[in-house]
Structure 1
Amino acid sequence: MFARVSAAPFRLETPRSQRQREAGVLAVLGWLSAFPGETWQQCWEASGAEAAGDWRELISTEAISGCPSDAPTPPLSVGLLVLICADVIRPSLRWLLSFAPARKSLTREMARTRDTKVFSVMDHTCVTEQVGLLASQRAMIHISVIMAAKGGRVADIEVGDCVELAEITGTLPKDSHGTVRSPLFCQLLLRQGVLGKDAPAALAMFCGRG
């Protein structure tokens, strides 16, 4: 598995950046290996990371396999990002929406490693339709979050995923950047033909009663 996440499309061209990325991946896996589970996903769920205020605070250098106590902590967030994009770990939608650092660079890496062409088309759509930068970025983040939590590509997103995301964000603080404030992410998916011909045309119709 480590060989897979160290190769294309996850590998970076810059040697130094790639070494840091590999160190982060090894650190996260070394920490997770202490928890029960037959898969890395099960280890992640057993770690208590999603219940913590900041999962990185749970990890000491002593907990990382082969890392001396006086060594600097490897880039844990980068390591987790690689494992998420490689579909090794699937954090929950709620955690991804609630913990802002987990969304840093997520869209860029999902586009680079998992679905380059479709993200490029959606980005072009936002530009040609003169969508504001912030609105388009948030829409792309919501699409990326669904992919991170559910696996697969943009084409694998279902109506139920959009409903679940909208319901969860409705329980988050209003100032949360993870909150759905625009139906744009649904509209982009509809433009791609992802949700099917019978999908509702508006976010309110996804979440309404009756």
Structure 2
Amino acid sequence: MIEPFIAAPPPTRALPDPRYKPSSLQTVPQLLRQFPPRPLPVSWDATRDSRGEVLARALAQPLRGADRHEQSRHHRGLLAVLDWLTEFAGVTWQERFLDSIEAPADNQGWKHAAAHWWSSTRPEPTTVKNGINMIAIGTASLICADVLRPPVDWLMSPRTPKNLAMRLEQARDPHGWAAFARSLRR
């Protein structure tokens, strides 16, 4: 017997995760006052691209040492985030992203909200933990592909997404990053 499709619950806005209160963040507000971030645009070429163009751009990113399983997770993560963002208002992917991170949400709370939604929409059984992994992979890929540009306070709270710096180094100007690293060793 085939089970009837159950509609996904409406998307929920992310809330800050009270479990994460790293002491290093105590200086972030002071640093942001001293060094305010540049204004965050809501539109540029990559974020105005269609879903197909975004997938092509993000899937073209180099994933060093990635096997077929990792490539599959990369693809599923991209689809998970794009699916979730289509539930929010906006013309560009960035506008939808900003609508989904209503203040004062941190990146962990956002990831959990997206994962709960994603997990509930799957036709096959899955766990929220798997959803969190998919959302994390997809979000990092979209940042590396310059489709999303998170606000600094979201990016830094409670901590920068795992492996984002390494992924950015691989995806954007690896020669420039290598030159920068060499200059630091002098």
Q: TM-score range by the shorter chain?
A: 0.5 to 0.7
Q: Find 1:46's aligned residue among 95, 99, 114.
A: 99
The share of aligned pairs that are identical, in percent, is: 31
Amino acid of the residue matched to residue 138 of structure 2?
G
Cα 1:69–1:4 shift into 2, 3 Å: same
Q: Does the aligned pair in 2 maintain the 1:24–1:77 contact within 8 Å?
A: yes
Cα 1:65–1:40 shift into 2, 3 Å: farther
Cα 1:114–1:50 shift into 2, 3 Å: farther
Give, in angstroms, the shift of residue 29 of structure 1. 0.7
1:4 counterpart residue number = 57
Q: Find 2:154's aligned residue among 92, 95, 101.
A: 95
Cα 1:126–1:50 shift into 2, 3 Å: farther
1:82 counterpart residue number = 141
CA-based RMSD of the aligned residues comes to 2.4
Q: Does the aligned pair in 2 maintain the 1:25–1:82 contact within 8 Å?
A: yes
Secondary structure of 2:156's aligned partner? helix
Give, in angstroms, the shift of residue 75 of structure 1. 1.8
1:105 counterpart residue number = 163
Q: Partners in 2 of 1:42 and 1:11 — Cα distance?
A: 30
Q: Does the aligned pair in 2 maintain the 1:56–1:76 contact within 8 Å?
A: yes
- Provide structure 2 residue ranges, at least 5 long, that are not aligned to the other structure: 1-53
Amino acid of the residue matched to residue 89 of structure 1?
L
Q: Does 1:67 align with 2:126?
A: no
1:27 counterpart residue number = 80
Amino acid of the residue matched to residue 115 of structure 1?
D
1:124 counterpart residue number = 182
Give, in angstroms, the shift of residue 101 of structure 1. 4.1
Q: Does the aligned pair in 2 maintain the 1:49–1:55 contact within 8 Å?
A: no
TM-score by length of 2: 0.60
- Provide structure 1 residue ranges, at least 5 long, that are not aligned to the other structure: 130-210
Cα 1:6–1:50 shift into 2, 3 Å: farther
Cα 1:65–1:83 shift into 2, 3 Å: farther
For residues 110-153 of structure 1, what are the alpha-carbon distances to aligned partners after superposition, in whole Å with 9 as ceiling and x for unaligned? 111111111101111222x3xxxxxxxxxxxxxxxxxxxxxxxx
Give, in angstroms, the shift of residue 93 of structure 1. 1.4
TM-score by length of 1: 0.53
Cα 1:101–1:8 shift into 2, 3 Å: closer
Q: Does the aligned pair in 1 maintain the 2:115–2:135 contact within 8 Å?
A: no
1:58-207 correspondence to structure 2 within 5 Å: 58-63=113-118, 67-68=122-123, 70-72=125-127, 73=131, 75-102=134-161, 104-127=162-185, 129=186
Q: Does the aligned pair in 2 maintain the 1:30–1:64 contact within 8 Å?
A: no
Aligned length: 127
Relative contact order (C-alpha < 8 Å, sep 6+): which is higher? 2
